[in-house]
């Protein structure tokens, strides 16, 4: 009866190949900046403590005028009509101001799109970046993605990330409609953003 056990020399060679493969994989990860060790987090974050920030600003979504900040880019097919405008997609580059008046201090821009995502109620799927243009936050962004049920007095949207001074950001935004023009579709919304970041 032949033995099914590998000779010691073959086991040693097989072990050597496995070790070489693991070392090569580690070197490849280092070259591409991939890190597995959780201890590197302290170095990467520069020993910074996580903090909670609250930002309040006003979002101006304007369809009217010669230079609108919101433009419908997709309309539903003619044979598919709903009371909500289901399927409509709008791109926007909206000013963010310190006060409800458009003439107040410009803090940044909201860039993104929203789609009417419900057939029964006026609810939007919204994806956007708040791009800050003032002070120490200039160039930093906050990313938001979520459901915005417009008829609700206060809506809550998740913060899914950020860049610049908002790296590793997480939190939520509370949105309330400040004003809405039914004829033009122009709207002003108040955003209160609560953010955990480093």
Claim: this prediction has a pTM higher than 0.85 = no
What residue segments make up the domains of the chain, in order of their start? Answer: 48-197
What separation in angstroms does the CA of 162 have from each of 25, 141, 143?
A: 30, 5, 5
State mean pLDDT over 102-123.
95
Give the model confidence (pLDDT) of 156-188 as tens digits.
999 999 999 999 999 999 999 999 999 999 999
pLDDT reported for residue 81: 76
Residue 124 and residue 115 in contact, taking contact as beta carbons nearer than 8 Å: yes
State mean pLDDT over 64-82.
90
What separation in angstroms does the CA of 133 have from each of 105, 124, 145?
A: 11, 26, 21
Give the model confidence (pLDDT) of 18-44 as tens digits.
554 555 545 544 444 444 444 444 445
The burial class, CB within 10 Å (0-12 / 13-18 / 19+), for 81 is exposed
The burial class, CB within 10 Å (0-12 / 13-18 / 19+), for 168 is middle
CATH architecture of 48-197: Beta Barrel (2.40)
Quick one: tokens of 11? 């086991």
């Amino acid at each position: 009866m032949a033995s099914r056990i590998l000779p010691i020399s073959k086991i040693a060679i097989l072990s050597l190949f496995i070790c070489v493969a693991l070392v090569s994989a580690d070197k490849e990860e280092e070259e591409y900046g991939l890190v597995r060790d959780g201890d590197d987090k302290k170095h990467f974050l520069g020993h910074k403590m996580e903090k909670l920030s609250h930002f309040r600003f006003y979002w101006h979504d304007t369809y009217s005028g010669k230079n609108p900040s919101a433009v419908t880019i997709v309309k539903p097919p003619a044979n598919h009509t709903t009371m909500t405008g289901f399927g409509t997609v709008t791109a926007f580059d909206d000013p963010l101001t310190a006060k409800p008046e458009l003439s107040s201090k410009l803090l940044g821009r909201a860039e993104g799109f929203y789609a009417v995502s419900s057939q029964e109620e006026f609810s939007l799927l919204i994806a956007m970046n708040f791009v800050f243009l003032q002070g120490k936050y200039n160039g930093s962004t906050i990313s938001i993605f979520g459901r915005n049920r417009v008829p609700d007095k206060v809506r809550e949207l998740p913060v899914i990330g950020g860049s610049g001074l908002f790296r590793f950001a997480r939190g939520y935004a509370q949105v309330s409609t400040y004003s809405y023009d039914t004829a033009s579709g122009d709207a002003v919304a108040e955003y209160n953003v609560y953010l955990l970041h480093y």
